[in-house]
Amino acid sequence: MYVDNVVILAGGSSERFGSNKLLYTVDGKEMIRRVVEAASQIGSRVILSVRSEKQGKTLSKLTGINYIVDLKPCSGPMGAVISAVPRRGRTLILPGDLPWVDAEVLNEFMELAHKISDSEIHGIIWPSSKVLDSVIVLLDSYEPVLYLKRACSLKKTRMTDLHRASRSLTLLSPGLLKEGWRLSDVDRLEELKQEPTLHQGEYVIIRQEALGCPYRSAINYLSKGDVRRAAKNFELELAMYKDIENLRNHITRDIYNLRGS
């Protein structure tokens, strides 16, 4: 299965790794080059999202791929998504720090995602910790990106805001894939020396149509200055994501920040 666009998030600072992890060699190949090669086999257009011209030129020279510098006011992965995701076509968003990724596991993920559901967004969930992987995203609609862009000017945003802005969301465990461990990223150098963790297979489908997508309603109310109604809609989200730890934590923080404002 091919996608129209692959956006590789390559603007991280690699502070916990100790050096630029995207340039770190794993099995004879730089990490970012491995991700680019896999993406090029399943995407018609591949783009690097970077935080500076200097970083972009370095990675573009190594990989032969064009880059886009993240726009403000959003910083980090959110700015990358807003800057680099095209308005048209299906887009796969990937982190640049996938040291074991290949085209086969990406293709299997996309095929299974669309076999299971027709959600606006398909993502990855690590069932052992009930944590959503916020960076690997298969995006079938640009509308969630528009809400992420609006949210950036209204509140503190995170990559999970993209998932929350979708009317329908499907999360797949890597355990459903033959070699799902290849989708594991790394934050620290010592993680490269550890055996990849295998996960049980399961998936979660969340459809928001009946509630009118509480996140989008909350952003609409925030844009009008109605903090009370925005908080009420964030509270509706908590019930929807009761088994996804990091989503609940982020929603709870949004509610706390609104009540304290």
pLDDT given for residue 52 in this prediction: 87
Mean pLDDT of the region 111-131: 86
pLDDT above 90 for 231: yes
pLDDT above 80 for 15: no
pLDDT given for residue 13 in this prediction: 62
State which residues form the domain around 152. 3-259
How many structural domains does the chain have?
1
pLDDT above 70 for 37: yes
Please report, for the domain that includes residue 153, its CATH number.
3.90.550.10
pLDDT above 90 for 242: no
Average pLDDT, the chain: 88
Mean pLDDT of the region 158-176: 91
| Other residues' Cβ atoms within 10 Å of the Cβ of residue 259 | 10
Mean pLDDT of the region 114-139: 85
pLDDT above 80 for 190: no
In angstroms, rounded to a whole number, what is the distance separating the alpha carbons of residues 99 and 21? 9
pLDDT digits 0-9 by tens, 113-122: 999 999 999 9
pLDDT above 60 for 129: no
